[in-house]
Amino acid sequence: MGQSLLSKDDMPRLAGALLDRLRARTALIGVIGLGYVGLPLSLTLAEAGVRVLGFDIDPEKPKAIAEGRTYLKQFSSERIAAVSRPGTFSATSDMQRLSEPDVILICVPTPLTRHLEPDLSYVTRTAEAIAARLRPGQLVVLESTTYPGTTHEVLKPILEKAGLVCGQDVFLAFSPEREDPGNQTHTTATIPKVVGADDEASRALACAVYESYGGRTVPVSTAATAEAVKITENIFRAVNIALVNELKIIYQRMGINIWEVIDAAKTKPFGFMPFYPGPGLGGHCIPIDPYYLTWKAKEYEISTKFIELAGQVNSAMPDHVVQALARALDARFRKGLNGSRILLLGIAYKKNVDDLRESPSLRLIEKLEALGAEVDYFDPFFPIIPQTREHAALAGRESIAWTLSAIAGYDAVLIATDHDGIDYRALAAHARLVVDTRNACANAQSDLSNVVLA
């Protein structure tokens, strides 16, 4: 059940003054991290007439915003220019300016270490930068996904080093991002915002920030509760995807099409929610966030067997795909992976986005090449593979041009990401062999005798 919010008359004086500015849309909102979470949040606020100052350590992003130019394909340059040219939305790499905003929203990455432990270095460095310039009356809201307790145990002590007390002099809350890149139905403006804080004034102020663009807020009792909400959402998806991935492998052995099973099962109007298999988990949330709770649970001497098992199933999917491709090559051509020419279709982690974070496609390339295959890729969203922390050796590789004659020259095409705009009918007609992990060729309306589901 949502929490009731404190009235202005019951707030500390500094909180009441900030609430007035938020309601009048005269407050300046700072957004730290202008990526897939911070940029849409900044645009949504600015489009509602709220002044936004963005911060990013990459100087190219503030430069692009000043020029009214996009750097993420899901957001048009026109949309950025419409709020940056009037000056409603501006950006900087100068962290000395963190004293200027009345509200600071933290939208920085929270990855894992190689040992599957939380890496809060981006959060702690950001908090230290804020603390060095923190002034009375500011509100800080963490949006980055993390384990329950981070806001209180990590962020608050750093901010209070300057001698300011959270809940009295400055204000602190947690409101998890709920972005779904590429989703045109549910956007930043329409997705409800869960808001948690450990004092009533901070909670009310944070709700006012998101309500300033017309958003619906869902206040909860503490920051830790809000942190738990986000991690629960992502664990729910990870576990159900693991389940359907495991069912896919079982049903394939039985000669049953998992996609047909799901399509029929989802006609039940209650008690079933469709999840779909794939070549592995990607993105900034689902492959990572469950391990944050697994790590934190150890502090309470609790074993998260269910969550860890789901992680093992999902992490093993690229190996399953490689084995399926090897079997398909052997069955059709009596040929192994060693020396085979493979075209991997799609390297983004999901369709229709220019987002490579945790993409299983990158792991597939590395695994196939380790077995001696020659691998090229095609992805209209990635003409060149950028530098990534985990797959540095792949940086700089270029997508092939999409031609049917080129496709026919490969031993197999492996569909890893099912972008719209691809002519799957032509692909099925010209490729020697298609191994499809996304059921992308289901509606190709052509001879599918050379298509193998994996």
CA distances from 61 to 32, 57, 91, 107 (A): 12, 8, 8, 14
List, as one string, the DSSP characters of 362-403.
HHHHHHHHHTT-EEEEE-TT-SBPPP-SS-GGGTT-BPPP--
Burial 189-201 (b: 16+ CB within 10 A, else e): beeebbbbbbbbb
The number of beta carbons lying within 10 Å of the beta carbon of residue 396 is 10
List, edge to edge, every strand of the sheet that includes 139-142: 89-92, 51-55, 28-32, 103-106, 139-142, 171-174, 193-196, 217-220
DSSP string, 119-167: --HHHHHHHHHHHTT--TT-EEEE-S---TTHIIIIIHHHHGGGSPPBT
DSSP tag of 27: S
Residues in the chain: 454
DSSP code string of 255-306: T--HHHHHHHHTTSSSS-------SS--SSSTTTHHHHHHHHHGGGT---HH
The answer to whether 102 and 27 have CB atoms below 8 angstroms apart is: yes
Q: Kindly list the catalytic residues.
A: 285
342: nearest Cα among 324, 316, 358: 324
Best CA proximity match to 141, nearest among 102, 179, 106? 106
5: CB partners within 8 A, 6+ apart: 200, 203, 204, 207, 219
Residues paired with residue 195 on neighbouring β-strands, in sequence order: 219
Nearest to 352 by CA among 184, 204, 139: 184
